[in-house]
Structure 1
Amino acid sequence: MTLVEEYLQIRKYSEQVCEPLQTEDYVVQPVADVSPPKWHLGHTTWFFETFILKPFSDNYQIYNDEYNFVFNSYYETVGNRVIRTDRGNLSRPGVKEIYQYRAYVDAAMVNLLSTRLKDDVRELLVLGFNHEQQHQELLLTDIKYILGNNPLFPVYVQDRKEVLTVKNEPGWIDIPAGIYQIGHEGTGFCFDNELNRHQVYLHDFAISKTLVNNAEFLEFIRAGGYENFSYWHSEGWDWVKNNHVKSPMYWHLIDEEWFNYTLGGLVPIDLNAPVSHISYYEAYAYASWRGMRLPTEFEWEVAAKNFNWGERWEWTESAYLPYPGFSKAPGAIGEYNGKFMVNQKVLRGASIATPQNHSRITYRNFFHPHLRWQYTGIRLVK
């Protein structure tokens, strides 16, 4: 596949994710962590314009100088921006104009990609590909949050699957104590937070081949798991009480029966599906109730060669911290990951929202412990 073909394929998929939406759906921002779909479409376009076309394409004309303020996310180096919580207040630019913006930038990018590119430009281009794929995952989960918090429970796509067909046989994988290599190796793409490759010592442990499913988590609910402080961190217990949390996100108890909002609408709970949309606090409490724990990210990486993964982002017990020898790149690109290495937990794996070819065993996702709008799940260790 040529660079042009890869670029256009990735860009097209972002728009395909939005195809089922009505115009009003593009603008909504129910909470700070969820961005309006039209903002994602504009921001990913701004990324290519700002970091590739502007510095490397001769005679390129910026589509709209004011878009730098509208679509910059968190790059202090690039300038001021609309704060994250206000993205849903922007009725303009409209959806039609944002698609025109994408077409304008795509045409310029195709022209640039048809020329001989220097290695540093190619590296930025691949980063841009992966950046847009990250936003495709966020885009789908943000759309689900927008629709799932509408009292009409609208259907996104009737047959959009939220469960993979690949299964693991129940059981445990024993990992012996020893020194293991952690981190990305090879010449393929990785984010800077996957470097540098280094050694860790692990004590022996056993990790589940399967994710915790809805039936198992329902047992925790029925056993009073959300009412018993002894299973929770103090901060997690405060979160439960202050937010009146009694079940995973998108679960609804209707006439004594549990339903789950999915991309296909409101349906009865699939007891065999992996539990999803839970916080780190809930994952920890469930593991504690079972007399077990969550894996560290290093345990997960070592063990993941032995089981199928990718159905849910899996909470780990690890804080999001730099690896030995980690260093930030100069300029705005250096703000990509390193500045967020505080007060967050690492998630490993991928989910059904993750675009194809955008997951690997060393990938480190990270979120604050209370967040659960992503497809998050639980794998136990004993």
Structure 2
Amino acid sequence: MAGLSAEDQMVQSCSDASPLKWHQAHTTWFFETFVLRPFLADYKPFREEFHWLFNSYYISLGEEIPEKRLRSSFSRPSLGDVVAFRKHVDREMERLFAHSIDVEVCRRIVLGLNHEQQHQELTLTDIKHAFFSNPLRPSYRSCALPKDRTRGVPTFEWRNHEGGVNEVGYSPNGDNPLDFSFDNETPRHRVYLQPFQIANRSVTCREYLEFMADDGYSRPGFWLSDGWELVKQSRWEAPLYWERDTCDETGWRVVTLRGSHGLSDLLDTAVCHISFYEADAFARWRGCRLPTEVEWESIASQEPLQGNRLNAGRLHPATASGAASVEQLFGDCWEWTASAYTGYPGYKSLPGALGEYNGKFMSGQMILRGGSCVTPADHIRATYRNFFPPRNALAVFRNTFGKVRRRS
């Protein structure tokens, strides 16, 4: 939040975003609600009304704000009050740590830390959209995008996977409360895969521009029915944050967290901010398909967990380097898969109110994998399952596509 004003932190530029002030308060609310209130005997809440004011969707906890879009209408509590709330909870957490804590408390704290990492990523995607919606086009970082070390993008190639029985899902490390995964990553189970192929790198802006130049947004044969309706209703013609620019040789500019740049400077970087419908349409245009999440995980579990994430400080997708067999799996952009968000065989949500964290959203959502350029580096793993509605392009999404191998 450093460098952002109180006014910046009140903006809610669309219904899929939240004000940054709210992100700060909600992540603090999580520790107060799930750790301090039940486990610190003499804990006194900072303000009692914060218990419902900064609840997001935990209906079992009682009252909540009925409309998410109303979050931007609250000038009070002030940013100063929210910062004071965070300091209050920090002090009380330190007091909790002064005594021995049991396994359940430890598990909730680790969940709270991972929850806050999710909101660190959300704040960056939300402030990007807020600044994009501002006619002055401010930027989160004023310095230019760092130059990629590589020259050109690696040649597009297919990587083979022989299929067969694969184990997917997170495998817990005993009863260690510091060993973390979200409940929707378990239980680990076996699946059978047909042989398939997957691309060796991300789809680039250059390749996506070819889809657009071939009238990809005006040819219904490439689109799922709901996606085509959105194309017509919303007049989609390019990824989110692409703007017409006659001064650039491509005819486009791209708004990033580091300001606006001509697309010609970003042609070999991974295309981002496309919805599931756009990713699926592009894959169909190329005569391919999106990989399933199981196919994706079977590839990612064999590759090193490295990539362009938040710790790199770039804040925008990079150019593939050609250093791995299949690269850009972790970081750069979240990757749409062809899999709907459902529970694994034997899935059980957490008990109590914490059970509303993931399980209640297993309807009408698609799975994404891999993390983005604004995902904290130690927050992602091969089994991590992100999920969003197929229309959403606000977070940093991209298309890694695969195809079924033909048997000889």
| 1:32 CA drift (Å) | 1.0
- CA RMSD between the two structures: 1.6
**Stretches of 4+ moved more than 6 A in 1?**
162-169
Pair 1:68 & 2:89 matched: no
Pair 1:233 & 2:224 matched: yes
Quick one: distance in 1 between partners of 2:146 and 2:238? 18
| 1:163 CA drift (Å) | 9.1
TM-score, normalised via structure 1 length: 0.93
Quick one: distance in 2 between partners of 1:46 and 1:255? 47
| 1:63 CA drift (Å) | 0.3
Distance 1:163 1:62, change over 3 A: farther
TM-score, normalised via structure 2 length: 0.87
| 1:255 CA drift (Å) | 1.6
- Residue deviations 1:258-287 (CA, integer Å, cap 9, x gap): 100001111111101100000000000000
- Give the AA of the match of 2:93: M
Quick one: distance in 1 between partners of 2:144 and 2:80? 26
Identity %: 44
**2:268 alignment partner in structure 1:** 272
Quick one: distance in 2 between partners of 1:164 and 1:34? 30
Quick one: distance in 2 between partners of 1:249 and 1:291? 24
What are structure 1's unaligned runs of at least 5 residues? 1-17
Pair 1:216 & 2:199 matched: no
Quick one: distance in 1 between partners of 2:378 and 2:156? 27
Aligned match for 2:110, one of 107, 123, 126: 126
Aligned match for 2:68, one of 66, 70, 84: 84
Quick one: distance in 2 between partners of 1:273 and 1:311? 9
What are structure 2's unaligned runs of at least 5 residues? 174-178, 304-325, 404-408
Pair 1:147 & 2:131 matched: yes
Quick one: distance in 1 between partners of 2:148 and 2:182? 26
Would you say the 8 A contact 2:223–2:280 is kept in 1?
yes
Would you say the 8 A contact 1:162–1:352 is kept in 2?
no
Pair 1:182 & 2:168 matched: yes
Pair 1:355 & 2:376 matched: yes
Secondary structure of 1:179's aligned partner: strand
More helix by share: 1
Superposition map of 1:166-177 within 5 A: 170-177=156-163
Pair 1:191 & 2:182 matched: yes
| 1:364 CA drift (Å) | 0.1
Secondary structure of 1:252's aligned partner: strand
Secondary structure of 2:167's aligned partner: strand
Secondary structure of 1:299's aligned partner: helix
**2:20 alignment partner in structure 1:** 37
Superposition map of 1:1-382 within 5 A: 18-82=1-65, 83-159=67-143, 170-187=156-173, 188-255=179-246, 257-269=251-263, 270-304=266-300, 305-306=302-303, 307-308=326-327, 309=329, 310-382=331-403
Secondary structure of 2:110's aligned partner: helix
Would you say the 8 A contact 2:184–2:349 is kept in 1?
no
Quick one: distance in 2 between partners of 1:219 and 1:120? 53
Distance 1:218 1:335, change over 3 A: same
- How many residues get paired? 365
Would you say the 8 A contact 2:184–2:343 is kept in 1?
yes
Secondary structure of 1:23's aligned partner: coil
Would you say the 8 A contact 2:240–2:394 is kept in 1?
yes
- Give the AA of the match of 2:136: L
Distance 1:346 1:161, change over 3 A: farther
| 1:331 CA drift (Å) | 1.0
